[in-house]
Amino acid sequence: MDLYKQGLRPLLFSGLRADPEWLHRRLIDTLSGLAEADATRNPPLASWVRQQGRRAFCSAHPALSQTLWGLSFQNPVGLAAGFDKDGRVAHLWQDFGFGFAELGTVTLHAQPGNPRPRLFRLPQDLAALNRMGFNNEGAAAMAARLSVSAMPLQDADPSALRFPLGINLGKSKVTPLESAAEDYLGSFRLLQNCGNYFVVNVSSPNTPGLRSLQDADQLDRILGLLQQENAGQKPLLVKIAPDLDEGEIADILALCQTHHLAGIIATNTTVQRDRLHTQRLPTTGKLLTEEAGGISGAPLRQRSTEIIRLIYQKTSGTLPIIGVGGIFTAEDAWEKITAGASLVQVYTGWFYEGPWMVRRILDGLAQKLEAHGLSHIARAIGCKA
């Protein structure tokens, strides 16, 4: 399991000196080819590869399963939005041990995103800096892909039916802020039959003005339109920034109650640069304080957990929380769950720790339950809040 960190990671990070986004794209292309081969029932080879992946990366613990929003989660560890932006390999993520996956961020209009380079590793900080800018093929393209791919995969593998897929919705860059609500609504209408739950992303720092949509008046209109269309059919969540103050979070929680949201995701990337070891980006030669984008990974761990605990306390545990930010180990996941998160998500930690990471976290969580005398993960949620 340490072969990745001792051998492959140094080669990918330092030896090849490849652009992180290029490597990410190659991984998605490879997995997409495997998914297409399996969907056509072409060869036993594709099925064999998937089976070997499950044996290596998956770990089943009944005590970690739970039902939330009427959905069955085999375990609480999911893949965060941003990794599979266009849903190209949606149902393959379960082969890496994940209990669910969140696709996107997807926008109503296809868009190329921000100029490259736009994704940077910060190894000294176990972090990443990204300013991708919601690059994606658009909501219609995702809807077409998921509609075509869902049935063959589910016929071939019934477990796909028990693998919840979330869809993270963002605002198109070309859409004015005053028309943001209609933009989100357009995406939701195209995709509402393709996802098990939906997330309103108003917290990315990489689309101009997007974070202003966290303002109560702006967010109120977006959530109102979406819930009117949704009519309670699909769980709707909102994803917030770690840079909000307590009053701003309280305003959002009030809107969650008003619009009967199913939950909240805490948190997105941070624009803070304090306490980082990395001072200058080797790729550009500029000081990190001069570089646009959001920081993810280990520097976000403490702040995201603080916000999870705050939300849990303010809602008395009645609003389910998906915790994300700086999860690398079972201890990190346990910290967020005991602070109040029902589910957790990973992204940056996964490319630092490698494909065995989820299995290590799941085995570690099972051990934590046993060590604390708890029979089920539900009993751990918020127990230290």
DSSP secondary structure letters along 165-179: EEEEE---TTS-GGG
Q: What is the mean pLDDT of the segment spanning 133-151? A: 89
Within-domain flag for 313 = yes
How confident is the model over 36-62, as a mean pLDDT? 84
pLDDT at 151 over 50: no
pLDDT at 157 (0 to 100): 45
CATH code (residue 99): 3.20.20.70
**Whether the Cβ atoms of residue 183 and residue 175 lie closer than 8 Å to each other:** yes
- Tens-place pLDDT, residues 96-111: 999 999 999 999 999 9
Mean pLDDT of 148-170: 66
What average pLDDT does range 295-310 have in this prediction? 98
Tell me if 151 is assigned to a ligand binding site: no
75 part of a folded domain: yes
pTM: 0.94
Residues labelled as active-site residues: 204
**Residue 16's pLDDT is what?**
66
pLDDT grade for 43, boundaries at 50, 70 and 90? low
Q: Which residues contact 252 (CB under 8 A, 6 or more apart)?
A: 214, 216, 219, 238, 240, 244, 264
- Does 336 carry a binding-site annotation? no
Tell me if 83 is assigned to a ligand binding site: yes
Kindly tell me if the per-residue pLDDT of 197 is higher than 90: yes
The pLDDT assigned to 156 comes to 41
Write the DSSP symbol of residue 204.
-
Please check if 84 is assigned to a binding site: yes
Q: Which string of b and e fits 331-362 if b means at least 16 CB within 10 Å? A: ebbbbbbbbbbbbbbbbbbbbbbbbbbbbbbb
Binding site annotation covers 135?
Answer: no
State the average pLDDT over residues 53-68.
Answer: 96
Instruction: Find out whether 309 is annotated in a ligand binding site.
Output: no
Tell whether 25 is covered by a domain: no
Signed CA dihedral, 346, 347, 353, 355: sign only: positive
Any known ligand binding at 293? no
Question: SS3 for 87?
Answer: coil
- Picking from 4-8, 292-296, 359-363, which range would have the lowest pLDDT averaged per residue? 4-8
Going by pLDDT thresholds of 50, 70 and 90, the confidence category of residue 84 is very high
Annotated binding residue at 134?
A: yes
Higher pLDDT: 324 or 14? It is 324
For the chain, strand residue ranges (E) read 66-68, 71-73, 77-79, 100-106, 119-122, 127-130, 165-169, 197-201, 236-240, 263-266, 294-297, 321-324, 343-346
Residue 5 is assigned to a structural domain of this protein: no
Range of lowest pLDDT (14-18, 226-230, 294-298): 14-18
Q: What is the mean pLDDT of the chain?
A: 93
Does 267 appear as a known binding residue?
A: yes
CA dihedral 149, 150, 155, 157 (to 10 degrees): 90
pLDDT of 161 reads: 52
Number of domains in the chain: 1
Please report whether residue 44 resides in a domain.
no
Q: Which of 25-29, 40-44, 51-55, 250-254 has the lowest mean pLDDT?
A: 40-44
pLDDT band for 150, please (50, 70, 90 cuts). Answer: low
217 vs 44, which has greater pLDDT? 217
Which one, of 308, 335, 269, 356, lies nearest residue 80 by Cα? 269
Residue 175 lies in a domain: yes
Residue 172 confidence (pLDDT) above 90? yes
Domain interval for residue 180: 59-379
Q: Residue 73 annotated as binding?
A: no
Are the C-beta atoms of 101 and 146 separated by less than 8 Å? no
DSSP symbols for 95-135: GGT-SEEEEEEE-SS-B--SPSP-EEEEGGGTEEEE-----
Whether 19 is in a domain gets the answer: no
Note whether residue 7 is domain-resident: no
Given pLDDT bands bounded at 50, 70 and 90, which one contains residue 240? very high
152 pLDDT more than 90: no
